[in-house]
Amino acid sequence: MKVKELIKNTKVVKSQEILNREVSGIFYDSRKVLPGGIFVAIHGTSADGNAFVQEAIERGASVVVTEKRDLVLPSGVGLIVVENSRKFLAEIADIYYHSPSKNLKIVGVTGTKGKTSTAMILKEIFEAASFKTGLIGTIQYEVGQRIVPSTNTTPESIDIQALLAEMVRAGLTHAILEVSSHSIDQGRIECISFDAGIFTNIASHEHLDYHKNFRNYLESKLKFFSTYLPASKKKDKIAVINIDDVYSRIFINTAREKKLNVVTYGLSRKAEFKAENFTFDRNGTSFVLRGKKFSTKLLGSGNLYNCLAAISTAVSSGISIDTAVSVLGNIKNIPGRMEFIDTGRPFTVVVDYAHTHRALEELLKTVRHLNPGRILLVFGCGGDRDRSKRPIMGKIAARFADRVYITSDNPRNENPNQIISDIYRGIPFWYKRKCELIPDRRSAIKSALSCARENDWVVIAGKGHEQYQIIKNIFYQFDDRKVVLELLKEINN
């Protein structure tokens, strides 16, 4: 494809020496540039792509896209100046891959909690209805039989378009995308033709390191329903909203103003998909929806809402409710989400991704409902992330757990001891005696396992499915689930 074909419908401030050049690929990471490629310099959260223009040229970039009007390039390297490089990247990515989203039924899932579980449940229902479905989410990207570990919940626009194009080539008909607030704010989902959007919930003290305040965070989530879903040229677009969320009315009104078909779910009597007779125990969750009895091994109120979101979307898309009943009965777990570890011991071990105060509270309340002997909680908070939630999470942990082992999560560039101190600061003095501060995560898990007695629950929170720990921007192999099994062998010996 020639450059002139890529840019003919885009807004370019200035260009030179480029129009008839053939494009070998589009890149935003200078380390991955191939000869004859276009390098788009975008502003990342920690780096500016303009700092890597020289490296991109050395690797063979024939055209550079930038917002800098005064950028000087070597002779023979083409230049395109644009007002918004991220938006431009999304536009040319869609053109380069021939607008694959137009050939797929695409559902976007956004919210603070429940995106991954909702997306994976919905994928199972679609597949059971004989819809070949791809997935782009927090845990992994799935294209047919090809599964790739995720790098971002919602990757960069060019990566999304490449995955969607691969899905089309593989004969898939549907795709489900987890849509993060970062991706909405940065325009990574620009030019994707969505058929439906799901709003799970929204909580304060989430991603404030990026959004700065809750209002910005809320507006970012709303933008999916006010801008990106309405912009799709698909017909009969659906907005599926959790009516029980305190901010649901804002999302419902926004969706209706944009002429979207609104579908609501929840426990409220006003919900179109209203769950009744909801109960759960150690063996799973059950509820009644539209006269049908649902049973699933997924535990707790959080998973009830995830199931309702998936069912509402599937049924509103023409799938029979009986198909959903069958699928939920066969789902055993979602990786790293209330995932039980088979230890063969008289106590229970659960690994969960809960890394916000609201998610942690919901997790611990769910476990408490199951009448454990004691709850032994291992958790920490991520570094280089919102610090204001740390004391809040400490207070919640100490309130709902019987023993608390405060440890490292992904400290990144922060001092792990400082993060732990921030958490500990929020714990009332009368709860402090139940807490231990153990910076090494493996040692903290070992302490909890060694302390566990019959009928106790060891709850390991924060990292869930992750198979690494980030310390000083270095990724070390670390999987809570594997570490548990390794430590139990050590304890035995």
pLDDT tens, position by position, 114-130:
999 999 999 999 999 99
Binding-site residues from annotation for ATP? 111-117
Query: Which sign does the torsion angle of CA 108, 109, 111, 112 carry?
Result: negative
Same domain? For 387 and 483 the reply is yes
**In CATH, what number is assigned to the domain containing residue 58?**
3.40.1390.10
pLDDT at 206 over 80: no
DSSP characters over 230-261: HH---SS-EEEEETTSTTHHHHHHHHHHTT-E
Numbered residues of the known binding site for meso-2,6-diaminopimelate: 385, 409-412, 462, 466
* Average pLDDT of every residue of the chain: 94
Residue 314's closest CA among 122, 133, 451, 170? Answer: 122
**329-343 residue pLDDT tens:** 999 899 999 999 999
pLDDT of residue 261: 98
> 345 pLDDT band (50/70/90 cuts)?
very high
44 and 77 housed in the same domain: yes
Task: State whether 61 and 105 are in the same domain.
Answer: no
- Does 212 share its domain with 134? yes
Region 149-176: mean pLDDT is 94
Q: Give the integer Cα–Cα distance in Å for 385 and 241.
A: 28
Domain of 202, in residue numbers: 98-330
List binding-site positions: 30, 111-117, 152-154, 180, 186, 188, 385, 409-412, 462, 466
At 167 the pLDDT is 97
Q: Which of 266, 299, 330 is the last residue of a domain?
A: 330
182 and 326 in a common domain: yes
For residues 83 and 102, state if they share a domain: no
Return d(Cα 329, Cα 296) in angstroms, integer.
Answer: 5
- 188 and 247 share one domain: yes
Interatomic CA distance for residues 196 and 261, integer angstroms: 9
Residue written as token pair 């790739």: 148
* Angle between helical axes of 300-316 and 357-369 (0-180°, round to 10): 110
Shared domain check, 170 and 69: no
Task: Give the start-end residues of each E strand in 130-272.
Answer: 133-136, 140-143, 146-149, 174-178, 196-199, 238-242, 261-266
Displacement of CA 488 from its chain's centroid (Å)? 31
Handedness of CA 406, 411, 416, 421 (dihedral sign): negative
pLDDT in tens, 132-143: 999 999 999 999
Q: The CATH number of the domain where 420 resides is what?
A: 3.90.190.20
Q: Which amino acid is at 41?
A: A
Alpha helices in 261-356 (DSSP H): 300-316, 321-330
Q: What per-residue confidence (pLDDT) applies to 493?
A: 65
CA 215: distance to chain centroid?
A: 20
Residue 4 has a pLDDT of 86
What's the domain count of the chain?
Answer: 3
Identify whether residues 351 and 222 lie together within a single domain.
no
Tens digit of each residue's pLDDT (9 = 90 or more) over 56-109:
999 999 999 999 988 888 888 999 999 999 999 999 999 999 999 999 999 999
Residue 127's CATH number: 3.40.1190.10
Q: Which of 313, 330, 347 is the last residue of a domain?
A: 330
What pLDDT score does 47 carry? 83
